[in-house]
Structure 1
Amino acid sequence: MSCSVLHHVEVCVKDEAILELLTHGFGFIHCARRVTHRASQWVLKSGGCVFVVTKRLDEEVVNGNGNGKEMNDGSRDGKKWNMDEERSHMNGFTREDEHWTVFCCQNSDSHAVDSVFNIALVVRNVDSVTERVRAMGGRILREPCDLANPQGKVRYAIVTSCCGNIVHTLIDKSHYNGDFLPGFEPVEHTRGNSDGNTTDTPNGYLEHTLENGHSKHSSNSEELARQHKEENEVDASQNLKLQLKGSPASPPLCTHIDHVTYVCRAGESRQLLDWYEQCFGMKRFFANGVETEADGFVLGGNIGLRLKAMEYWRCAETGLLSAPGASMQDSSLKLVIAEPLPDVSTSHVETFLRAHGGPGVQHIGLHTPTMANTVAFMAGRGVVFRKPPPVYYEEGVKLNEIEEAGHGSELSMFRDLGILLDTEADIFSEMEEQEGKKKYLMQVFTGPIFKQDTFFLEVIQRCGARGFGAGNITALAKSIILYNEQQQKLKT
């Protein structure tokens, strides 16, 4: 498994529902797994996008007070792992099989809220980066150490960020040739449908799901979901031995993680930017022509949002490290900081802070080279995407940009799938004039991934644009507000 600056992101959950969403809906492949006394973990991959899903065992199971069956592993049945040992573990003590175990709730005795919390990074020197984090006030959850197996040696540490519950696993794999990490067992998988049906592949999916720009997937989504459920049904007592089947997506639907977006509290973005510059050598990235160094890109009114971004390129000499051969796209790490404006309680970032219980990762952008096919495929597999108000696609809003980008004939399809388009002419106009090409991006956003209204995913295709869709940020915020209003009406 190749890596870039961003090695993987880790999700801490109470149940395995997200596994079905990522494999069946987003086309990820289950490629490795790990079961310990305290957790079960699944490694899922789509191109260069790597997610680790971690399910924490219930406290009574960890303490050995349950009936034993919940452990689902006879070699560990009935053994105790008490909370004093767990706290010691978090302060530096590590069992042989618990090297990579860390939870979104950190020192809490039980799972609090599902969260994407671990942004694992490939670094040049684990020890020096760890010391910089320590000097900047970060806690060291795992001191630097080596792990070895027949494929080589990995040096790693786990440190806290200055933002909410976010942690970073720092990894040096320069002397390791294994697929993922020591302690994770590879999972065999097959690609493609057993019946050879090409209608389930993303490259051939669009013509089967769209007719004259209108979706036809609603008629077969329930049948697809039923078939997939039957394939993956297992006895409840064996759920930690679940062998997930990969999606038939080939080539991968998503090629790499484009960006990770944090939400912080009002007034904290400056400190956060400074912390990442000092610890990892990241630099400010201006995504909009009207933003300033101090204020960032501000969206007022009931949107109440301030955005700032930072980036790390593979050519930097300190801090993070990209693997040899990694492309320029997937070897740069972009972090976006979303900060609520003071006295705006209705913003979607304030909603995140309340539901999540504090700052953290709000969304992750997955890059695809085939936007329409990818979104149609995912929607046909039950992925729910937010859609902007219909006026978004009309004259005076985005119609002209969509037509100028060469997608005017696909307008009804864009509307049907909820695809947003932004030319970013304000910041990249000089580049456009020099190269004679229109630079734009397309993007679409899911609804909340977890039960709480916190984390969501973005699918993005870049066609020369390097920003984050400045003209679409307002549309995104409005769509989230609209979604929340609709949900509230359903409740009442």
Structure 2
Amino acid sequence: MTTYTDKGPRPEVGKFIAFHHISFWVGNAKQASQWYCVRFGFHPFGYKGLETKSRQVVSHAIQQDDIIFVFHSPLEPNNDEMGRHLVVHGDGVKDVAFSVENCRGIYKRAIEKGAKSVREPWEESDENGTVIFATIQTYGDTTHTFIELTNYKGTFLPNYKEPRHVDPILPSLKECGLHFIDHVVGNQPDDQMTSAAEWYVNNLQFHRFWSVDDSQIHTEYSALRSIVVTNFDETIKMPINEPANGRKKSQIQEFVDYYGGAGVQHIALNTSNIIKSIAALRSRGVEFLTIPDSYYVALREKLKKSKVKVDESLDVLQELHILVDYDDEGYLLQIFSKPAQDRPTLFIEIIQRKNHQGFGAGNFKALFEAIEAEQDLRGNL
């Protein structure tokens, strides 16, 4: 495992502030958004559709604290772009949007450095003000939209209206306590990780934050390599993974096969109380990977020799199948859902940090083995 301290020079144009929202292209935005509300504790937040004069695409925005997901579906049968994307990739993440200062400057510099433009800067306005947008291509068919809010006073973005219907079951369900997007992981085909990471360094002035290779992350059957890139202020973390050769197919390769190329593999959502969050999520029917008891037997022995004390009950962590990674300074707790759709592609991670900014390298072997058990059930190991 390698951590990096050299951020490089402060960007000369613009500033990346944070994740703004994540856009999904799905076959049925109404149903998908409701599934995430019921299962993961989101609430309806905004709507665009036929009733709001959006004639081609319907959009359902949902929110939980600072996390915003937006689900888009085509309304007309001749929407070839969205139709092709859905056939190739299935339901999945299309765009990861960032809040920025100086949208036009960031876009202009990225294009000058070689980034591919999807849409030049444009403005949208409503009674709450004006927002500036621009979109560029990143790995695979995934895009990044830069969003400059400036003095916009609305709750989300222009021309989104209040949800037309709020499911009456939602208030009766336990709150999940998920607060913000911790990181967004992109899987690449073999030998494309480094070029994808360098794309962020060259075009967006991100820098390397953390990395591991297949000598550190492997099981008997499969392995991966990963580089994490981040913006100057380290508020946006984007891990980039690729498969490494192993005896059998890695989970990264399985994703690439079923997604049809590079794409967002998982979204990590941060909580301040993972035990409470996972108890609530399990009560809502979220399925998580199963971690064997042997992991916790070994963990207890290793922690006896560690300077770090885990505040949470190891018995409860074991009962909930929550993983623990640590160093001499602190620890993190994490757990991974099963895929959120029929294809074994996108899933959700829940993570809690206590003075630890890693990504669970110490857990990768246990995580891989849990995923491999699922792969075996699917006939894909």
Tell whether the structures are fold-level matches, with TM greater than 0.5.
yes
* 1:238 counterpart residue number: none
1:27 pairs with 2:41:
yes
Distance 2:114 2:206 in 1: 17
How many residues align? The count is: 357
Distance 2:131 2:83 in 1: 23
Distance 1:359 1:172 in 2: 27
- After superposition, residues 324-473 of structure 1 pair within 5 angstroms as 332-342=235-245, 345-394=248-297, 397-401=298-302, 406=309, 410-423=313-326, 425=327, 429=328, 432=329, 439-473=330-364
Distance 2:193 2:231 in 1: 17
* 2:60 counterpart residue number: 42
> How high is the TM-score relative to the length of structure 2?
0.85
| C-alpha displacement of 1:46 | 0.9
Does the 8 Å contact 2:176/2:281 carry over to 1? no
Does the 8 Å contact 2:185/2:239 carry over to 1? yes
1:169 pairs with 2:187:
no
Distance 2:171 2:111 in 1: 41
> Bigger CA drift: 449-458 or 476-485?
476-485
* 2:222 counterpart residue number: 303
Does the 8 Å contact 1:299/1:306 carry over to 2? no
Q: 1:26 to 1:312 in 2, by over 3 A?
A: same
Question: Once superposed, what is the RMSD of the aligned Cα atoms?
Answer: 2.8
- After superposition, residues 13-412 of structure 1 pair within 5 angstroms as 13-15=26-28, 16-35=30-49, 36-57=54-75, 59=77, 63=78, 103=82, 105=84, 112-161=89-138, 163-187=139-163, 242-245=165-168, 246-247=170-171, 253-286=177-210, 291=212, 298-299=217-218, 301-314=220-233, 332-342=235-245, 345-394=248-297, 397-401=298-302, 406=309, 410-412=313-315
Distance 1:55 1:415 in 2: 39
Distance 1:244 1:58 in 2: 26
| C-alpha displacement of 1:176 | 1.1
Q: 1:300 to 1:407 in 2, by over 3 A?
A: closer
Distance 1:248 1:4 in 2: 35
| C-alpha displacement of 1:299 | 3.2
| C-alpha displacement of 1:486 | 3.0
1:11 pairs with 2:29:
no
Provide structure 2 residue ranges, at least 5 long, that are not aligned to the other structure. Answer: 1-15
Distance 1:260 1:301 in 2: 27
Distance 1:112 1:251 in 2: 31
| C-alpha displacement of 1:133 | 3.1
Task: String of CA shifts for 1:357-376, please: whole Å, max 9, x gaps.
Answer: 00000001101111111101
> How high is the TM-score relative to the length of structure 1?
0.67
**Equivalent position amino acid for 2:55 in 1:** H
* 2:7 counterpart residue number: none
Does the 8 Å contact 2:89/2:258 carry over to 1? no
Does the 8 Å contact 2:219/2:368 carry over to 1? no
Does the 8 Å contact 2:109/2:203 carry over to 1? yes
* 1:231 counterpart residue number: none
Which structure: greater strand fraction?
2
Q: 1:170 to 1:297 in 2, by over 3 A?
A: farther
Does the 8 Å contact 2:39/2:286 carry over to 1? yes
| C-alpha displacement of 1:297 | 5.6
Does the 8 Å contact 1:386/1:479 carry over to 2? yes
Does the 8 Å contact 2:217/2:364 carry over to 1? no
Q: 1:176 to 1:275 in 2, by over 3 A?
A: same
Distance 1:260 1:32 in 2: 23
Q: Secondary structure at the match of 2:90?
A: coil
Q: Secondary structure at the match of 1:20?
A: helix
| C-alpha displacement of 1:286 | 2.1
Does the 8 Å contact 1:29/1:247 carry over to 2? no
| C-alpha displacement of 1:344 | 5.8
Does the 8 Å contact 2:207/2:232 carry over to 1? no
Q: Secondary structure at the match of 2:151?
A: strand
Distance 1:38 1:309 in 2: 36
Distance 1:308 1:444 in 2: 20
